[in-house]
Amino acid sequence: MNFKKAISLFLIMVLTFAILSGCTGTKEQASKEQKVLRVSMALGESEWEVMKNKIFPIFEKENNVKIEAVQIEASDLITKLEAMHKAGKMEIDIITQDNMQLAQLVEKGLVEDLSEYRDMIPENVIKALIPVGEFNGKLYFMPYRPNVEINFYNEKKFNEYGIKPPTNWDELLKVAKTFKEKEGIGRVAIKGTLDGNTTVQLFEFIRQAGGDPLVLNDEGSIKAYTFLKELWPYLSPDSKKADWNTMNKYLATESVYYGANWPFGVNVIVRDGGKKEIKAHAGFAGPVKKSKVLGGEVIGIPVGSPNKELAVKFMQFLMSKETQELLVTEMGWPSCRTDAYGKVEEWQKPYFEAVKEALKVSQPRPNVTYWDTVDKALNDAFREIVIEGKDVKTTLDKYAKVIADAKK
Amino acid sequence: MMSSVKKDRLGKIIDVSFFPLLIFFSLIMLIPVYILVKVSISQPVDVLTQHPTFLIRNFTWDHWIKVLTSGKLWPAFRKSFTVATLTAIFAIIIATPASYVISRLPKKVKYIVILGLFFTRMFPNVGIALPIAVKFLKWNLMDTYIGLVLAHLIEQLPFITWILVGTFEVIPVDLEKSAMIDGASRLRALMSIVIPNAAPGIAVATLFVWLNSWNEFTYALYLSLSDNTLPLQVYYYVNRGGFFQTATYATILTIPVAVVTYALQRYLKSDYLGGAIK
C-alpha cells in the first residue's frame, strides 16, 4: 500500500470516529444543563404542534422543567419499555397509552401502581373512565382522553340513492342491500381483519343485542352473529382488509360509503383529503340498545421513571380542567371531565357532536387477564360463522367453552 | 437437423419477445414507483376518488413543501444517510480482509466457517432485537448513531462476508503468486492485485449493505427515541394515516437509493478477470 492510500484510510477512520464520538456526547451534555421530563405520546403532526406550543409550555413554566416529547406508537410502546426495563435504564418518565393496549404493560410489570394517587382523579372525571385503568383492584392508569368510534358515511352517495344513515340493524341491512343492488358491489364495510379491530366491532354488535362477549353463547351473542352472517354477503369486499388505518382510505377513495372508525379519520379524510361529503353519526342501535366501545388514552408512569414526582405532577396537569379545555378547543378531543368545555372549530362541530353522542352509550372493555383468549375466540367465531358460514349456535358453544376454560 | 430448427425457432421467439418482455417487466417494476411519486405531487381530488387517473391532472408541490418545511425531514435524512454510510464503510473495512482469509482457507475449514456465518443469520431480527437492544441500552447506545451502526453491522457482516468470500474465491491464487514472483509482498499483492480484481464484488457488497442499512427498520425502532430514521418517519405517517405525506416521505426514501445504485453500477462488470492470468 502506498503512503498516500494509507494516509487517506487513516484520515477516514479518524473522521469517522470523530463523528461518532460527537454524536454520542450531545445527549449527556444536554441532560446536565437542564432537568428534562420525557413524555411518550402517539400523536399526529398537528396534535404535536398543539402539545408543544400550547400545552407543554404552561407546565414547563410552572415547574421550571423542559419537556422532551417522544413519539411512540401504542403497539411499539410495550417492546420499548420492556427493553428499557430489562436494561435497568428507563428513559421515559410518563406515558399516554391507548386503553386497548394496557394489559401487557401491567402483566409485564412495566407500569407503576398508581393506587396511592387515586385521590388525584378529579371529581368531575367521567366515572366510566376510571375502571379502564384498574387491574386486579389496583389502579395503574389515570383517565386522560376518552375516545369512541363514529360511523362515517358518504353523504353524496346516500343522497344519490335516497337513503339515510342507518339507525338500527334493520336499516343497516337495508342500506347494505341497496348499495349492493344499485352498484353491484357492497359499499358498507365492517372491520373484518380478524384482530383487535374486529373485536371492537363484535363487542358493539353483541352488546347492542344484549349479550356478553365474555360469555359468547348467550342469546345476545347468538343474535349478533346471526345478524352479521346475514349482513356479510352485502358488505364491501374491503371489509376483510378494513382496519383503523385502511378504513380511512376506503372511505376517502369511495370504495366504501359507510363504515365505523376512530375520529382521527376526520383529519385524514376531511381536513387533509378535502372530502367534505364524508359525514359522521353516532352509529345505530341493536335490538336491545345502542352500545359503543369506550376507547381512548390513559396516563401511566413506567416503573423506574427517572422523574417520578414530576411525572405525577404532569399527570395531574393533564387531567386538570384548564388542560382538558385546551385539548377540546385546540384538538377537538372530547374531554375526560364533565366540567371542561371548549370551542371546537366550525368544520369539526358535526363530527365532535357525533363523538359526544357515541360516548354517551360507550362502555369500556373488561380488563381480564385472559383477554388474548377472548380476543381470539371472538374472531375465530366470526371467521367460522360469518365468513365460512358455519352454524351459529354450535360454533359459539365451542368458543364459549374456550373462554370459560380460560376464566378458570 | 430437427434440433437446430427448434433452436432457430426458439432464437426467433426470444428475439421477437425480448424487448416487449423487457418493457413489460420494467413497467411492472416502475409503475408502483410512479404511483408513489404521482400521489406525492397530486392534489387530493386526483387521488381520493373511485377511479383515480393514471396521469397527473392537478399538480401540486404542497405535500413536498409541507414535508420539506416540517423540520422533521432533515434530521431523519441525516441520521439514515450517516448510519447507512458508516455501516457500509465499517462493513467493508472489516469484511474484506476477513473474506479474503476465509476464501484462502482449506475447503473443509472454509465450509465450516461459512456455515458458522450463516448460523448467525438463522434467527429473525424481531426475535433477537430485544436482547440486543437491552445490551445496547446498558451501554448507553440508545439514540446514538454508533448504536445503530453496530446493530446494523450485526445483521450485515455475515451476509457481505459471504458475498465477498465468493468474490475472492474466483480470483485465482496464481494471480497473487505471479505478483509475488515479480517481487510484490503479500500485502502489496493483496492491495494491488486481489482487491482491484475484487472491486465488482466489493461494489455489490457495499451497495447491499448501504441499501439494507438505509431501509432497516427493526433495530431503528428499538434504538431510536428522539431522532427517527427515514423508514421510521414513513412508518409514522403510515400509522397516522396521512396519504400524501406518506407518499412524499417514501419518494424521498427512494431517491438516495437510485443515486447510490447509479453511482456504483459502473463497477458491476462481469468480465473483469478476462485475460488477467499470465
**Domains of chain A, earliest start first:** 35-146+295-346 (3.40.190.10), 150-293+366-407 (3.40.190.10)
Nearest to B76 by CA among B228, B234, B240, B232: B228
Average pLDDT, chain A: 90
Give me the interface pTM, i.e. the ipTM.
0.76
- pLDDT level of residue A9 (50, 70, 90 thresholds): low
With an 8 Å Cβ cutoff, are B241 and A245 in contact?
yes
Here the cell at position B265 is 453500477
pLDDT in tens, B163-188: 899 889 988 888 888 888 888 888 88
The alpha-carbon gap from A160 to the nearest alpha carbon of chain B, in Å, equals: 15
Q: What is the pLDDT of residue A29?
A: 47
Give chain A's end-to-end CA distance (angstroms, integer): 73
Mean of pLDDT values over A298-311: 96
Whether residue A303 is predicted with pLDDT greater than 90 in this model: the reply is yes
pLDDT in tens, A243-286: 988 999 999 999 999 999 999 889 889 988 899 999 999 999 99
- Residue A393 sits at the chain B interface (C-beta within 8 Å): no
Best to test chain A binding among B195, B239, B246 (most A CBs inside 10 Å): B239
Best to test chain B binding among A80, A90, A244 (most B CBs inside 10 Å): A80
- Residue A164 sits at the chain B interface (C-beta within 8 Å): no
Write down the residue that cell numbers 385472559 correspond to.
A370
pLDDT in tens, A112-167: 999 999 999 999 998 889 999 999 899 999 999 999 999 999 999 999 999 999 99
Here the cell at position A361 is 352509550
Q: What is the pLDDT of residue A30?
A: 45
With an 8 Å Cβ cutoff, are B134 and A86 in contact?
yes
The answer to whether the predicted template modeling score (pTM) of the entire model surpasses 0.95 is no
- Residue B130 sits at the chain A interface (C-beta within 8 Å): yes
Q: What is the pLDDT of residue A3?
A: 46
Whether residue A14 is predicted with pLDDT greater than 60 in this model: the reply is no
CA distances to A366, B77, B210 from B259, rounded to whole Å, are 53, 14, 12
pLDDT in tens, B91-117: 999 999 999 999 999 988 998 998 888
A98 sits in which H/E element: strand A94-98
With an 8 Å Cβ cutoff, are A273 and B48 in contact?
yes
Whether residue A10 is predicted with pLDDT greater than 60 in this model: the reply is no
Low-confidence residues of chain B: pLDDT under 70: 1-4, 241, 267-278
How many Å apart are CA A299 and CA A81, to the nearest integer? 15
pLDDT in tens, A185-244: 999 999 999 999 999 999 999 999 999 999 999 999 999 999 999 999 999 999 999 998
CA distances to B98, B111, B114, B122, B163 from B118, rounded to whole Å, are 15, 11, 6, 7, 12
Q: What is the pLDDT of residue A332?
A: 81
- Residue A229 sits at the chain B interface (C-beta within 8 Å): no
Q: What is the pLDDT of residue A15?
A: 58
Cβ contacts of B50 on chain A, cutoff 8 Å: 253-255
Q: What is the pLDDT of residue A12?
A: 62
